[in-house]
Structure formats: structure tokens, C-alpha cells
Amino acid sequence: MSDAEPPDRYRYFLPITTRWMDNDVYGHINNVTYYSYFDTVANHYLIHEGGLDIHNSPVIGLVVESKCAYRAPLAYPDRLQAALRVDKLGNRSVTYGIAIFKEGEQQPAAHGHFVHVFVDRQSRKAVAMPERLREALARLTVT
């Protein structure tokens, strides 16, 4: 992903409210908090658009890889948009492209990727993702 990918390269957006506790002693959002934002936008989509029941579904997504590149500092009380797309969709896994934009900005403050592998809740063995979930993820695919 280029450093300059604008919001129109993403398919799903979620407002993120920064919190006072997100700031670290250096006065900006701590690096680990961005991974929380990544996790939040991906799972929000899976639950609300893909029908994932996080409490009862026999198939769940486990994060197996993530990366974040930080481009500009953010701090409380900034208002953010978490942006999501699908860069690669398989039968058992999905690679998301994710970016965090300060409200009103065209360049991401941070961007990266996040990989979910879908597994059986009990055995933790990789399985095909449910069709409704796969169809929802296909709608986010970019080329």
C-alpha cells in the first residue's frame, strides 16, 4: 500500500472516538492503540455486515498477522475514521487493508494490514468461512 492512499480506496468506515487514556506520556496516541482501532473496525464489519455471532458462532476469526505504519501523530480529542477494505479473500482467511484517518484528512495517519484465519471455535482448526461472511467480505474487495 502506498503512503498516499486516500479514503476512496476503502469500502467501509467507522468513526472512532479517541479517549484520554489513548494518549501516552509523549502526548500522542500510543502505538498499541492503533491495533485496537484495526481490530475494532474489522470486527464491527464482521458482526454488523457479515452476521458473525461472536458469542455463539461455531466459526471465529483469529488474527495471525498484523502490521501498522505510522505517518502522522494523533492525540485525544482527535476524531477519527477507521477505514477498511479487503486486499485478499480466500476460503479460510482474509487480508484487510486498514487505515486510520483524522477526521477531514485525505492522507492516513496510520495504515497497515490485518489477517484473520477462520477456525472452528472448539478445535481451533482452520475451516471455510460461512458463506454470508464471505459474501460480505467480497463486497469490500479492491483491486
What CATH number is attached to the domain comprising 129? 3.10.129.10
Domain contains 16: yes
pLDDT computed for residue 143 by the predictor = 81
Give me the pLDDT at residue 23, please. 95
Task: Specify if 2 maps to a domain.
Answer: no
Would you say residue 127 lies in a domain? Answer: yes
Structural domain includes residue 78 = yes
pLDDT at 5: 84
Inter-residue contact 64 to 116 (CB < 8 Å): yes
**Is there a domain that residue 1 lies in?**
no
pLDDT < 50: residue spans in the chain: 1-2
Residue 64: inside a domain: yes
Edge-first strand order for the sheet with 110-120 is: 12-17, 79-89, 93-102, 110-120, 59-70
Query: What does the pLDDT read at residue 1?
Result: 42
The domain tally of the chain equals 1
Domain holding 84, by residue range, is 7-138
What is the value of pTM for the model shown?
0.94
